[in-house]
Chains A and B, each alone.
Chain A
């Protein structure tokens, strides 16, 4: 009869205090652990409260919001703000544009990232260290805003959809993540076997590496998509035509610059007040609407994302 380690521990500490499954926790350890838990609860509350506050406000009636009555639960529940937001042509156009930029930008970015990350992962690729240095240098030093702007201008991309997806197409961080993945999961032997069967480098990449690399492709695709969805600065400097504006610029105009959408030409005081109140809730609703696509997929991708972050950040 063998005694398991746990049983052994239990018997060896018996008589001392109660039974345990691990080596004893001293009293200070217990106090410490309680402190840790309190701290984590605090962190949870601090992060969650503003989020809940926004959502609660967005579902409340305009008058309750304007009176500042809403805290963590909707007051006089209403979806008026959402109706208003979804019927605003400018907001919807921004939404559509953001989707266009996110999808096309992600396709372009992922393709280009793999195109450079895969060769850089191959030992037989001559000059990979030089190329890697060339890429990393761009993380440390840049020409700056205006010189980049001049390039985009010279390429005739100003005020076109290209300006949203091309100048920020490749992220060095994503290249590092993809390259590390290829290098650590695709063994050289696999390539040798494929070569013997007559596969070229491209064929090997397409038929063997890519199918094996779905996790990392998903991670970098999501990184690019979220980056693209959330970006507003490129639009601010490169775009002039409101018809091309992504959602974030529309949001900035409404939320931060307080440019009301819709017509406020009415002279009736009561109506003006009502519109002012509606504008207040609209802000909360817009925040929810614009973050929704990202937050809906977030729980599903968080774990993969975590892996990507780890690959990118942890050395040795």
Chain B
């Protein structure tokens, strides 16, 4: 895996300093280069020590700690001292009747989220791009962008209040059409819709910004020449704008799919109540309950690991497919 999200392609290796090339043949070995760089720029290496330690301690040690998924973890003996049990935790989880429900709930929720929240920001961005720069455009952008800054707790509370059977305005509104009151959060069948559309409400404006940036980067000459060729607005969107934002869209789609199994724990957990768990219990909330509420650390880690691994493979798979089809991918 190379440095990937770079905005500019990585620079080629620095040319050896002039002083060195005078004495030796022009190419110095990497080791010599490293030593020279370390001597001259020791302060830079000093700077990265603490941040790197952070990544080792809080990101890589947990990956190592995940061995407890294959152990019968005992707090006294620690991750390495506890006895090995092989794949027992995984087998138990796969045999657990709740397993398929969890996988199904997680998968459906994620796919639904990706399907809904992928195209809408593109539509919004293109629409914003079509109208002239002015007050209206700025207002729409400012307002649609705002919910992104509201915390999950607040968004969930708002959702609950707005949908509340007796007091929420949604029930008032559908009441005008003679529909009886609906307890949205008490019915598992509504959970996915509530989750996904409140998510769309919160993130569309934010995601649109990324596409707006991509649209702004399209060479105006392309639009100009399309116009001269007599292309309508719709045709220009189809043949100029959409291809122009394709690379960005692919990356965002790939990342979205990569998140498919790690779907936002926080929100599902907050929206959950005893009445809707049939559809709201997802792998992440189950891990929390198994691990921290029931203190079954090994089992919770095994479930989490199962999740992470599937996640990683999905991401790599979709990235591979995207690269094949469109020529764009995360590591291109």
A residues with a Cβ closer than 8 A to B are 23, 25-26, 28-29, 32-33, 36-37, 39-40, 43-44, 46-48, 50-51, 53-54, 57, 65-66, 68, 71, 112-113, 115-116, 118-120, 122-129, 131-138, 140-151, 155, 166-167, 169-170, 176, 180, 183-184, 200-202, 205, 226, 229-233, 237, 248, 251-252, 255-256, 280, 283-284, 287, 290-291, 294-295, 298-299, 302, 306, 309-316
Contacts and interface: CB of A to CB of B under 8 A. Distances in A.
A291 to B, nearest CB: 5
Contacts of B66: 143-144, 147
A145 B154 contact: no
B234 interface: yes
A157 B136 CA distance: 49
Given A48-B143, A51-B146, A54-B158, A316 B247 contact: yes
A29 B130 CA distance: 11
A141 B149 CA distance: 26
Interface in B274-328: 284, 287-288, 291-292, 297, 300-301, 304-305, 307-308, 311-312, 315
A245 to B, nearest CB: 12
Contact of A145 (B43, B51, B287): B287
A185 to B, nearest CB: 12
A233 B131 CA distance: 40
A54 B247 CA distance: 39
B33 A50 contact: no
Nearest to B127: A36
A47 B194 CA distance: 15
A146 B311 CA distance: 18
Given A145-B291, A146-B297, A151-B57, A184 B40 contact: no
Contacts of B133: none
B2 interface: yes
**Interface size class, chain B:** 35 or more
A240 B291 CA distance: 16
A218 B53 CA distance: 25
B51 to A, nearest CB: 4
B147 to A, nearest CB: 6
B100 interface: no
A44 B143 contact: yes
A71 B169 contact: yes
A251 B154 contact: yes
B265 interface: yes
Contacts of B44: 118-119, 122, 124-125, 201
B304 A146 contact: yes
Contact of B65 (A47, A118, A143): A143
Given A129-B3, A143-B64, A313 B213 contact: yes
A16 B21 CA distance: 71
A166 B252 CA distance: 29
Interface in B105-140: 123-124, 127-128, 130-131, 136-137, 139-140
- For the complex of A and B, the 7 pairs showing the least CB-CB separation, nearest first, are A143-B62, A144-B304, A230-B151, A147-B65, A116-B51, A147-B62, A132-B3
Contacts of B169: 53, 71
A229 B151 contact: yes
A151 B60 CA distance: 10
Contact of A125 (B37, B162, B251): B37
B227 A23 contact: yes
A6 to B, nearest CB: 15
Given A43-B144, A148-B65, A252-B153, 13 more contacts: A43-B204, A50-B162, A51-B147, A65-B167, A68-B168, A116-B52, A129-B2, A143-B304, A151-B65, A184-B7, A233-B265, A309-B209, A314-B7
